[in-house]
Structure 1
Amino acid sequence: MPRRPALDRQTLLALGPDHLADLLLELAGSDPAIQRQLRLAVASRSGPEDAAALVRQQFGSIRGSRSFIDRQQLRALAKDLLRQLDAIRGPIATSDPSLALALLWEFLALSRNVLSRCDDSNAEMDELFREACHALPPVVQAARPEPAALARQVFEAHCHDDDGIVHGLIGKLAESLGPTGLAALRQQFEQLAQQPVTVPPQEEQSRFWTAQSGLRAVAEAMGDVDGYIAQYSERQRRVPRIAAGIAQRLLKVGRAEEALRFLQEGSPERSPWPVLDWEDAQIAALEVLGRTDEAQAARWHWFEQTLMETYLRDYLQQLPAFEDGEAEQRAIDFVAASPDLYAALSFLLEWPTGLHRAAQVIVQRHGELNGAHDELFDTAAERLSADHPLAATLALRCMVDFALTNGYSSQYGAAAGHLHTCQLLSSRISDWGEIPPHEAYLAAIRSTHARKRGFWSKARPLGL
């Protein structure tokens, strides 16, 4: 069979420019996407105006379309838009930053049209438009637009941002907006909030939310903590997540007492799950105020509530010398007794001195093990096999049992491998206690799952 020629840069360059040009023209004649790409490359070398004209022509074509974009069309459109974006932030921005800035705003304005016409379930288009948003700050810095003009553009983008594409843009452009631009932007959002109600309730709520979120972003960019707080109602300030955000900003400006007050008013005691931002802000506020005993108590409390390593590490680091060992043991005892077996094992397998206790928990509570947590038990088997073969065996067995009991044929290969590892580990287990030894376990699953031929066809080559 003749060898297939390699297709790489060197072999293509060896064809020579004339041959390559002919090939590209031939391809462009049958593929409009390649033709547009070549035209854009040529125009970019001619000058920014020519390239911008082609970009705007493609934008107009996209804006004029109203049809649904299917998955195949979405991929093609994403590639085409990425080429337009590369041209804008590349050669056009290098030659004419102001022109590139205008094109970036036009690019972002396309998001409403495109995203409303497609099912972007894997967020491919979302990410592309966010990438265009990330390209704005350096182009704005190079173009140096008038602050008031920039404020108007930011305001328009924020008001039409139904998909959260430009979220955070005000903060990123704060330096370019400067005091004048930020003041102008704040005035525009204030006017939006004060407009008479002439629209349906749903649209009115959207307008109010847009104005409120814009004023919060402006206040934060200006370092105006009180302006930021003012955009939340008394009821909103009692939401733990919002209270935490307010407290974090107050802490940055040295207002710890107020921060703690907001946290107390927005306590997550009634929440069914912890609010980590609130907890972190509470501890930080207590530390700033010199209430170290209360901060330590909070760390331990939130460790008990979440079994998160971070709280325990911070707690232990604050203890006097020689007291951390006893406290660490108390923490491990607490985790081992947790009713949430999987959270307990996750913690113990990661904690530096927790492997021995993890092995004990697996052996003592082996009847509770559910092989559906395969990632956890894969980790357990790997980390426990050296010094705790019985616990590692039980971790492997629960995954074998899960696959066989539920008839998950896609997992039979992995399950057979787990069973083979159990066989290798069995020679190192001298005391099985109440656990059936390997041969007894193997005989039991041979009897119970004799008809699982797909499994046994994978197990037999492994000597099982």
Structure 2
Amino acid sequence: MARPPPKLTKTVSEKNLALLGEQRLAGLLMLAAAGDPGFKRRLRLELAAELGAADLAAELDRRLDTLREGRGRISWRKRPALVRELSGLRDLIVDRLTDQDAALALDRLIAWFDLADPLAGRVKDSRGEVTGLFEGAAPEIARIADRVGVEGAAPRLQSALDMRAAIWAPVLGRAAPVMSQALAGRLAALLRPGLETASARRRLVARRLSDRAGDVDVWLETLTAEERRSSGLGAEAARRLARDGRPAQARAALEATRPPVPRVVRGREERRDPAPEERWRSAEIAVLDAEGRTKEALEARWLQFERTLSPEVLRELVGRLDDFEDVVAIDRALAFAQTYFDLMQGVSFLMDWGAMREAAEAVLARPEDVRGDVESIPLWASRLAGRHPEAAALLLRAHVRALVAQGHGGDQLAGVLAELDALAARADRATANRPA
């Protein structure tokens, strides 16, 4: 049996419009184009796309040139239309022209990005719509450039950066993480000459590209002498050299950034931000590994764990141990966390590690050290409630005290109190059933 024809309704939808037929739709499009120049331009571009890459590229060039050479201010009323047109031009380049001729598409997308500077002086972009459009399109440069190929795309992108660094430094910086390693490496190599005296903007682009390409030498050349001595980038340089199998250079870079010994002022050691020194310690471990000093590296990892209670550090340490030794190390780490000077930090590690029993034991052993101002307490309590209701109740009581002290009330406090009542009852039953 033949299917009945689709039913037409008055709803303006793609399905219903298709039922009007090609001739009727063409007439309606002509009427719309007569009253809307922007719509008419879009129809011309669509027709050009059907004719082929050369026609579409020529039509895109005409419109891009007009937008670039314009001088009049674009009012807030016209800004939405501009955003729609820019988005439409980008889509035609990315979705239509790229499939027909990637090299032509790359050149037109470069020209599209070049509109950012002239348009910035003509349109008030208080909502960041135009800026966001250009920022969001950066990955498309990488995708189309990869389609063009390394030798064809890299010189084009280098030229764009050389001529309009203010536009292209941020674009390439955002595009670098999604470029192919081959393209990022070739472009980084093209930017390498003169990096020592280059602008900070150009060095940062080269750094991101070399990071993507895994080119340690170019990455190092993006650093100034001051940055090489810093505890952040200098230590990172040592870590990268160690990972690249160059222990002697890594050791030299590391020693150049060694943190100074803290000064003693009036009998007290000066307070310093521990983060930079911790970064240096992490780099030192990588260098010890590269030098083959495995035992010292393991000892350094253990000390790092004791300072930070980092689950990531412990996993790295355990992963380098033989069978059974890893079990001993984990037991040692859990015991250490239970007696950590900051109980709440110790409990945080134990909960992250999934050591519920050890976390509950630590809370019950040191109730006077429980602080209720820790944001994660409700989550911890819910996870401990099943098998360790007493510890969960103790945590929630401290949390209630902290909420009251901070002036909280209403639904938030009521919800915690209701949960606490249920936990307290469960804890009482657990105590009553416990063997004498």
Which TM-score bucket, shorter chain as reference?
0.7 to 0.9
1:459 is aligned to none
For normalisation by structure 2, the TM-score amounts to: 0.72
- Uncovered stretches (5+) of structure 1, i.e. residues with no partner: 194-206, 434-464
Q: Which shows bigger deviation, 164-173 or 61-70?
A: 61-70
Q: 1:22-52, CA deviations, whole angstroms, 9 ceiling, x for partnerless residues?
A: 6666777777776665554444223334444
**One-letter amino acid of the structure 1 residue matched with residue 387 of structure 2:** D
Match of 2:312 among 310, 313, 319: 310
| 1:107 partnered with 2:112 | yes
Shift in Å, 1:100: 0.9
Distance 1:105 1:401 in 2: 60
Deviation of 1:21 (Å)? 5.5
Equivalent residue, structure 1, for 2:377: 377
* Residues 13, 393 of structure 1: alpha-carbon distance in 2 compared, 3 angstrom cutoff: farther
1:147-191 Cα offsets, whole Å, 9 max, x none, are 65554234335x324772211767947745987x7765444x46x
Corresponding residue to 1:160 among 130, 150, 166: 166
CA distance in 2, matches of 1:391, 1:6: 61
1:265 aligns with 2:256: yes
Residue 416 of structure 1 aligns with which residue? 414
Deviations 1:305-346 (A, max 9, x none): 222101112223334544444433432343344455554333
Helix, strand or coil at the partner of 1:368: coil
Contact 1:185 1:218 in 2 (8 A): no
Matched, 1:81 2:79: no
Residues in 2 aligned to 1:118 and 1:85: alpha-carbon distance in whole angstroms: 19
1:91 partnered with 2:92: no
- Which digits, 9 at most, give the CA deviation of each residue in 1:204-238, with x for residues without a partner? xxx63245446657877998755543443443212
Going from structure 1 to structure 2, the CA distance change for 1:90 and 1:329 (only over 3 Å counts) comes to: same
221, 224, 245: which one pairs with 1:254? Answer: 245
Q: 1:255 to 1:367 in 2, by over 3 A?
A: closer
Preserved contact between residue 100 and residue 139 of structure 1 (Cα < 8 Å): no
| 8 Å contact kept, 2:343–2:362 | no
Q: How does 1:20-419 map to 2 (within 5 A)?
A: 38-53=43-58, 55-56=60-61, 57=63, 60-61=66-67, 64=70, 78-113=83-118, 118-119=125-126, 124-125=132-133, 127-141=135-149, 145=152, 151-157=158-164, 159-161=165-167, 164-167=170-173, 172=179, 175=182, 185-187=191-193, 189=194, 193=197, 208-213=199-204, 225-226=216-217, 228-267=219-258, 272-275=273-276, 278-340=280-342, 342-358=344-360, 360-361=362-363, 364-365=367-368, 368-370=371-373, 373=375, 376-396=376-396, 412-419=410-417
RMSD of the TM alignment (CA)?
A: 4.5
Q: Encode CA deviations 1:62-121: one digit per residue, 9 max, x unaligned.
A: 774676887x98776555433322211221112222221111111222334556753567
> Counterpart amino acid of 2:152?
P
The whole-number CA distance in structure 1 between the counterparts of 2:244 and 2:346 is 39
Displacement of 1:128 after TM fit? Answer: 1.3
Q: CA deviation at 1:398?
A: 5.5
Amino acid at match of 1:291: R
CA distance in 2, matches of 1:361, 1:136: 57
SS of aligned partner of 1:240: coil
Residue pair 1:299, 1:315 contacting (<8 A) in 2 also: yes
The question of whether the paired residues in 2 share the 8 Å contact of 1:338 and 1:344 is answered with yes
Question: Percent of aligned pairs with the same residue?
Answer: 26
Q: Which residue of 1 aligns with 2:267?
A: none
Q: CA deviation at 1:265?
A: 2.2
Distance between the aligned counterparts of 1:140 and 1:355, measured in 2? 58
SS in structure 1 at match of 2:114? helix
Q: Could you tell me how far apart the structure 2 residues matched to 1:74 and 1:365 are? A: 61
Please say if residues 105 and 144 of structure 2, whose CA atoms lie closer than 8 Å, have aligned partners that are also in contact. Answer: no
State the alpha-carbon separation in 1 of the partners of residues 71 and 388 from structure 2.
64
Give the CA deviation at 1:430.
Answer: 1.0
What are the Cα deviations for residues 351-408 of structure 1, in whole angstroms up to 9, with x where unaligned? 122454256427715762116x2xx123213211211223334545566566666566
CA distance in structure 2 between the aligned counterparts of 1:388 and 1:326, rounded to whole angstroms: 25
CA contact (8 A) 2:57 2:97 kept: yes
In the alignment, structure 2 segments of 5+ residues that lack a partner are: 1-8, 263-271, 432-436
Question: Is the alpha carbon distance of 1:257 and 1:415 closer, same or farther for their aligned partners in structure 2, counting shifts above 3 Å?
Answer: same
> Residues of 2 paired with 1:324 and 1:40: CA distance?
65
1:440 aligns with none
1:238-288 deviation line (CA, Å, top 9, x unaligned): 212222332244235421222123123223577613357654443233223
**Cα 1:140–1:245 shift into 2, 3 Å:** farther
**3-state SS of the aligned residue for 2:115?**
helix
Number of residue pairs aligned between Structure 1 and Structure 2: 406
Separation in 1, partners of 2:215, 2:425 = 68
Counterpart CA distance in 2 for 1:35 and 1:217 is: 42
Instruction: Decide whether aligned partners of structure 1 residues 222 and 173 sit closer, same or farther in structure 2, where only a CA change above 3 A counts.
Output: closer
Query: Which secondary structure does the structure 1 equivalent of 2:152 belong to?
Result: coil
Other-structure match for 1:425? 423
Q: Could you tell me how far apart the structure 1 residues matched to 2:334 and 2:75 are?
A: 54
